[in-house]
Structure 1
């Protein structure tokens, strides 16, 4: 059974702030967690409020801050229990030695310690305290008990402390903590996706971005492709459980999490990398790259000097990567892209047939709102006749959303293909 796991659900982070000078870092941590797409609510102890106000966290999180166990308004709906159920992860940062002791001994005399006992969510603590307090036997004993109880401890950094001491006890930087939280949920999602995702168990190869065809050591022929569509599709395929290999021309984009990236420059480089991946095994080949149709016949050894009003270049045809892959004896499921400026549907259906593709997605790049470099797209999908699937219109949406719909279309066609074979 397969499920649509292309869309990772928004995760709920309950951030608990306790009374330490590092509480100012927690305000930045809220922002960094939200940057990763998390929904964040904040709990503050009385000690924390001595260092930073609840209003700060309310402004940053967008939610009222929870400070009291016996809040009449919250308790009308058993507020602390609802918070405990809401959380997908409870993160205590900074965590003082006092709260570590409460947790390890099962005390429940305030909102935070009650939440700790009431939640089924994973609990992470980021201890921050004086270096001697950190080294104290009681603190280390409490930490060991928490580890035994399944609490994840983010180890403190070493350095100069507010009190003037130097040693372990500094709360790590908010960016580092947020990155660890994001990595945790990414890994959890991946475990499920690899078993139940729409493309679970499939090896997907994607080409993306432009190619560059050298003219001389400093000049080249290329196009306006930014690779955004291909990179978004690589992320969506990985989120759907696939093993993704992204063959990318020169673009200034970060590699999506979990995706294996192969950097190339020219069309011939891209073809060679594609053939290598095909020989290693490939279930789905998705050609989003804007490959240069022609290259110069002979690349100049040195920079061509300006002379006269004209420069004539002798161009020769580049290999057709999609057609070459589709003609292989053990061909994968082939997905082509058609970026056109006129007669979009006619050109796309022609390419679908002539290149023996299984599916093609086309768009009108003459439109300024969905053309090269845009963060949004709108597409029409056509399938090869044997799949018995009607064309599908994908209305204008962010490329991440378009990518998720493309994954669903690929899955549907693959399911038909299995049934036919």
Structure 2
């Protein structure tokens, strides 16, 4: 019998409804408020990282720091992450900005800094988002990037359909917002319920379908229909569009296979680690290949990973079956840990992917990474399917559309549904203190009805 549980909703519907359609949400990034004796250089590194990644995301309109500082001088005000919201609202309306990103930074231990990130809506004056990042050995750049990763997870890029003609769908998102040919865009329609007095008492988004960009220009794109949602009345001008799932369906878990009818198609990769050497381990110690196996040696590290991802032509994998073997060597670490990364679309520092984690003590979890920030799909738990200690483990990951099934040592582990990432590469990340060996990696096309 199949069991499913709704685990989390990544993009709150009320945030999407409150955002102006067809325009990038605008942010003003306030100077970080230092709590205690945080070194000034740490503050500057974190601040610069937040600003850099907010701009680089191409999802938001960011108020220039010079313009913000000039206005504060004119008003004889000093805004920081600890400023009261009424003052933020006043300045925000002068700047014609939608949101303020307010942050505080505190040092909890010699190698542990806590960055608290809050978003204040200028129209309502309400704090609608509040999270903290505190990771041992993270740099200021790491914390700043992590903050932006959480913002991206909560505030999708939104555009709208501006017209339809001869089977083409025209949207007001383009290269300026990071949209490329082949990009998948979700389409949703805002619906309202009105009371007896005619006033709107409730709003929500309903999925209309998915379109695919065929010609991206600077500020607009032409797309074609990919599929429509059941009971959809078709696409209409004014419908919202986003590269992120809108509205988000979250993640649904299954205790039985979701992809029973999927079979192996064309063999794309047969990597025995002998004949051809596709990979080069980054941040590892020693050679990448030795005695016919891939070596990810992170025993010299006290944070992060030794990692490697398959290059082109394996960087556009969408529907696939991925198999391989992982073996841990005994080290001084209490546990050995590895991530199996799939559908990865970015580099290590700004990782965006699905991630299957397991360790040498029978534990595993599954995450969605956004700009290197991890969000639980399957929280950490344990399974008897994992061979413990240094015994090898065989894995198989079956991905088709928004469904994924995972197997360990020929036993079904768990399945999940998630729409966030359509395609990308696969690879491995050995956590600090770990020495992992990988062998017999194979990838097939996943074929189904």
Q: TM-score range by the shorter chain?
A: under 0.3
Q: TM-score, normalised by structure 2?
A: 0.25
Q: TM-score, normalised by structure 1?
A: 0.27
More helix by share: 1
Indicate the structure (1 or 2) with the bigger Cα radius of gyration: 1
